[in-house]
Structure formats: C-alpha cells, structure tokens
A and B are shown apart, each in its own frame.
Chain A
Amino acid sequence: MSSFIESTIRGFARAFSNSLLAEAAASRPGLLQQLDPRVRLAGIMVLVISTVVCRQIAVIAVLFLLAAGMATASGLPVMLLAKRVWAVILGFTGLIALPALFLTPGDPLLTIPARHLAISSQGLRAAALLVLRVETAATLTTTLVLCTPWTHLLKALRSLHLPAELVVMLAMTHRYVFLLIGTANQMFESRQSRSVGVLSGAEQRKMAARTAGVLLSKSVEMSHEVYLAMLSRGFRGDIHLWTDFRMRVRDYLGLTAFIFAGLVAVWIGR
C-alpha cells in the first residue's frame, strides 16, 4: 500500500517508542540519575561545549570514552547507543566527511593511481575530527535526554534563568506534541484502513496536505480550548513555576567533576 503512510506511521511509532524508552531509562538507578537534574543539564552542556571547543583528536576520543562510560554507568545498554546513535551518525556524518579525505588540500598520504585520487593527511584529520566530535556530542546529549525525565529537564532549564514563558511553552508543546502525534496517527491509520489499491502520486500529496490542514484546524481549535481552560483555572498571564530541587553534597561533587573534566579537556585540547 501507500508507503508514505506507512513510513509516516512508523515515524510516529518511533517517537512514542523513544519517549517510553526515555521514561524507562530515567527511572532506572544509575550514575546520572542520582544527580540533581540541574547538575546533569549544566554538566552535560559543559562537556558538549568542551567537545566543540577541543581541537585534538586524542582529547575528543577521551571525552567520547567518558561519555560512553557515563551512559553505561547510567544504565543505558551499549547496544542501544551503538544502534541508535553511533551507527546512525557514522552513516550520516561519515558520508558527509568522506569526500573531505580527497577534497581537502594537503600532504598526500595515500594515492589511488587508477582514479588519480589522493587522501591527504589534512583531509583524514578533518574527517576524523568531525565524525568523532559529532559522535561524542550526540552520545552526551542522548545520555542526558534518556536519563532525565522531561519535567525535570524543564525545571532545570528554568533554573538556568530561561524566561518563564519559554519554559512553559516548551512544556506545553511537549505535552501537545504527543497528543497531536496520536491524532495524526489515528488519521493516517483510518485512511490506510479505508484505502484499496495504490494511490497515485497526486492523490498521496493531496492526502498528506489535507491531513496536515485538518491537523492545523484541530490545533488552533485546541489552543482556544486550552486558553479557556487556563482562564477558568485563574490564569491571568502571570507564570509561577515550582522548583523543589535541592543540591546535596554529591551534586556539588558531580558538578565540580563535570566542570573540572570540561576545563581540563579544553586546556589540553586547545
């Protein structure tokens, strides 16, 4: 049948599956889960920035091992990371970086005589640096996302002095994303169950656009209802967020360790 319907439904299912996986991982006991969410967020951000700032492959490789070790100690299976993060990035960024081996001018390292192509040492270093840096940053952010419930992540964002309106909008958007994914999923499934034969390209495009249009109308209608519900509960435009996080000794130690690791990496890898 219509492959685009099926691939869209698969995409929706993947989003639900990722969300459930994150919830399950976040509730497991582990290294990161024991730390205050603000420390987790700030610490991982420090390490991501250090990874981006570092210019030495060896230092970024150490950061990668640190990220992988932290993920494992937080209860994330290595196979999951390998399948969902490392292989995907190697496929995507690796493909992007591959021509850099030949296109970057520099000292020839290996020549392919039949094609008059030469791999330059500068190109090899550029490609390795890019792939390793992207792998490390993605491992760190995936570990953060999978080990922190989104409500905690939002509260942690607020503690970083993000405007309250933005934090509330992020929270509401996250909530309605899943509601709208569910709605869109039902629309696609019902359409697929009523379809016989193969839809032409034009019919498929019309269907996709109409579904998006219906979803838009529903979304705007829902925003009115949400607004009225907020008013009926006393919303007058002022936002108050409740944060009940408390820093303990281990949180301070964790934050110090993150900052120390980040600074050392930047210092050695500059």
Chain B
Amino acid sequence: MHIPDGYLSPSTCATLYALAAAGWYSALGQIKRRLATRTIPLISVFAAFSFVVMMFNVPLPGGTTGHAVGVAVAAIVLGPWGSMLSISIALAIQALFFGDGGITTLGANCFNMAIVGSFVAYGVYCVIGRGTDLRSRRRVLAAAAAGYVAINASAFVTALEFGIQPALFHDPSGSPLYAPYPLRVAIPAMMIGHLAVAGLAEGVISAGMVSYLQRADLMLLRGVENPARESETALPPANRQSPRRLWWVVASLMLLTPLGILAAGSAWGEWSSNELASRQTRAHIESASGNQAAPASAPAGLQRLSNVWTAPFPRYAPKFIKNPAFGYLLSAMFAVGFLGLASLLTGFAGRRRWTIGERS
C-alpha cells in the first residue's frame, strides 16, 4: 500500500499532503497538550516499534505470509492522534531513509494508512469492545476486526486515489498520465489482496498482541499512555476554550443568511421538476451546462420521488412568510436550534455510554 512516486498526479499529491498536514498539525497539538514533554520520546519510540512491526512476516492461514502495519495496536494503545503521528513518522522514515514509498506521495501514504487507518481502527475497536472488561475475549475480537477493517479502509481509499487518476489526468489521445486503471479495475484489484491477505495479517497481529497484553501488560490496554482516552473534562477549566466566541460566529452567520437571496436561479443540479418543465428555466440550465440540451420534461423518476417528502420550509421560506429575507433567517434559526439540540442529546448519550476501558 506504500504508493511510490509517479502513481499519483501532482495535484492529487498536493491535496493529500494538505489533508495529511492538517491531520499532523491537529495530532501534534492534541498530543502535546496531553503529554507535554513526554510526547517526543513516546511517539518516537512507538514509531520505531511500528516500523519494526511492519517488517514482521505474519504467517496466515493457507501457508502464505503478509506484512502488518500495526495501526490497530497503535490506535488502541496510543489513541487515534498518537497513532496517526507514530505511523506517519514510521512511513516518513521508510520513504526518506529506506526508499519505501515515494516522497511526493508521502502525504497520500500518511493520509491512507496513518489517518484513515488510525481513526477507523479506533472507531471499530471502541464500538465492538465498548463496555467490556479489559481481559474479555471480545476485546481480542474487537482488535482483530479493527485491524482488518482499518487496513481495508486504507486500501479502499488508496484504490479511490488510483481510480480517479485516468479520468482526471490523461493526454488528448486518452492515454492515462498516472495510475492507468479506472475505479472499476482499481477497487477490485486493490481490495482482493487486502481482503484476502493484508487485512488478515493486520487482524492476526492485532488480536494476538491484545491477547498477549491482556495476560502480560494490561496497563497498556488500560490506556495509561493513551492521551485520547483522557476525558476532555480532565483538563483544567483555564485550558478549555469558551464556546461564547463560537456562538457569536454562528449568530453572525445566521444574520448573513439572507445573502442567499442575491444568488439568481437554482444551484446547478438542484432543479425541481417544475423548473425542468419551464421553458425559461430550461434555457438557464442549458447555458449553465455548456449548452447541453436539457431534457424536454422532468424525468419520471424525479417527478415520482419529488412528491415523496415535502420539506416544512421549502426554498428556505415557509409558505406563511411573505418576506424572503425573514424566511431565510427563520430557517437558519430553526436549523441551528435543531442541530444544537441534537448535539446536546448526542453528548449526553455519549457521556453515559462511552465507558470503554473503565471496568478492568
């Protein structure tokens, strides 16, 4: 899964570098806030460990062997932020000192394996192992599933990156300039090997290590070194940012919502069946679509499905409101209130149920 230089276009590499850099920046901030001066030795040694584990040949059922990444164990012991950093550093060492993986594709490799892999592994482990004893068999299964799903999620994202290359980057004769296979070839080609071998290797090593740690070193599973397990509320109040500033920003944005009225017509691709039937609107659609002819009438499926659900605030203006600006403002207030309530309820439910790692 280590993408060498030359498989991805410069713009894809730049985009994935930007995404990875945002992840590294956030992770470094999170880890430094929680571990302070312990960050450097812990992450460095763990990255070295991840590097060495990547060199292990893991024997698999059927007689074959595969290499693991160690992302699930890193996410379980260090949490997703710490795992993201340590796996990224291990990948950087591989690329810079051992030539394994490219320099221009380092961002992509870190995004796929360190960022996507860490969060997927941590999420799967938390969901399956939630509320169980640290020594339970379910934790072992959770680790196996976390490793298997994380590697396959990383492979899937890699396949997507490969698969979009021929459509986006080709010469005038249609010859692909980078990875040559479209999504319909890239996805199965990547996924078959990972579903059958690499995912199993990661699952086997993750489950085996968690099983070993349950007997030999339970402290590591408890998350003593795990910054992500520490509750946000454990921070002193002075370190917590006040939400007041956020509310002011939200209020300002709500007041600005009537600006949406200034945009003429519908957004491209969001036409209603009535608009498709109108000659005047169809002329607008054609000019906005590079003079491609619009269908003579709304497609039957669109007409049928458009009647399935009628929004309470169609076009951001309830029928009883005559002033469109006030309608926009009212819609914004309703949406913010609804999302705030949903967020409060989710947070309340999360505090009650998210008790992983507390019952050992």
Which A residues are within 8 Å of any B CB, using their own CB? 3-4, 7-8, 11-12, 15, 18, 22, 45, 48-49, 51-53, 55, 85, 89, 93, 97, 99-100, 103-107, 121-123, 125-127, 129-130, 133-134, 136-138, 141-142, 145, 150, 153, 157, 163, 165-166, 168-170, 172-177, 179-181, 184, 201, 204-206, 208-217, 219-220, 222-224, 226-227, 230-231, 235-237, 239
Residues of B within 8 A of A175 (CB): 48
A49 touches B209 (CB 8 A): no
Chain A residues with CB under 8 Å of B209's CB are 209, 212-213, 216
- Answer yes or no: B312 CB below 8 A from chain A CBs: no
Q: Are A215's CB and B53's CB within 8 A?
A: yes
Rank and list the top 7 A-B pairs by shortest CB-CB distance, nearest first.
A209-B208, A213-B212, A137-B5, A172-B44, A133-B6, A176-B48, A122-B175
Interface string of B1-20 (1 = CB under 8 A from A): 00011110110010000000
Please indicate the chain B residues that have their CB under 8 angstroms from the CB of A137 in the complex. 4-6, 102-104
Assess the B56–A106 pair: CB atoms within 8 A.
Answer: no
**Main SS at interface, chain B:** helix
- Alpha-carbon gap, A247 to B194, bound state (A): 47
Mask, B204-230, CB within 8 Å of A = 1, is: 110111011100110010000100000
Using Cβ atoms and an 8 Å threshold, which residues of chain B touch A170?
89, 92-93, 96
B183 within 8 A of A: no
Residues of B within 8 A of A (CB): 4-7, 9-10, 13, 24, 28, 32, 36-49, 51-53, 55-61, 63, 65, 70, 73, 77, 85, 89-90, 92-93, 95-99, 102-104, 166, 171, 173-181, 185, 204-205, 207-209, 211-213, 216-217, 220, 225
**Which of chain B's residues has its CB closest to A206's CB?**
B208
Contacting A219 at CB < 8 Å: which of B10, B40, B48, B207? B48
Are A216 and B4 interface neighbours, CB within 8 A? no
Q: Complex formed: what's the CA distance from A26 to B129 in Å? A: 49
Chain B, residue nearest A106 (CB):
B174
Query: In angstroms, how far is the closest chain B Cβ from the Cβ of A42?
Result: 12
- Distance in Å: Cβ of A8 to nearest Cβ of chain B: 5
Whether B208 contacts A210 by the Cβ 8 Å rule is: yes
A168 to B58, CA, bound (A): 31
Q: Are B44 and A169 in contact, CB atoms less than 8 angstroms apart?
A: yes
Contacting pair A8 B51 (CB below 8 A) = no
A134 and B7 in contact, given A122-B174, A237-B37 (Cβ under 8 angstroms): yes
Contacts of B85 in A (CB 8 A): 169
How far does the alpha carbon of A127 sit from the alpha carbon of B7 in the complex, in Å? 11
Contacting A52 at CB < 8 Å: which of B6, B40, B90?
A: B6
Interface contact A100-B4, CB-CB below 8 Å: no
Name 8 extra pairs, CB < 8 A, besides A51-B5, A175-B48, A205-B58: A48-B5, A99-B181, A130-B179, A201-B61, A204-B59, A212-B70, A213-B208, A219-B48
Given the known inter-chain contacts A8-B56, A172-B40, A217-B220, please indicate yes or no for A45 contacting B103, CB distance below 8 A.
yes
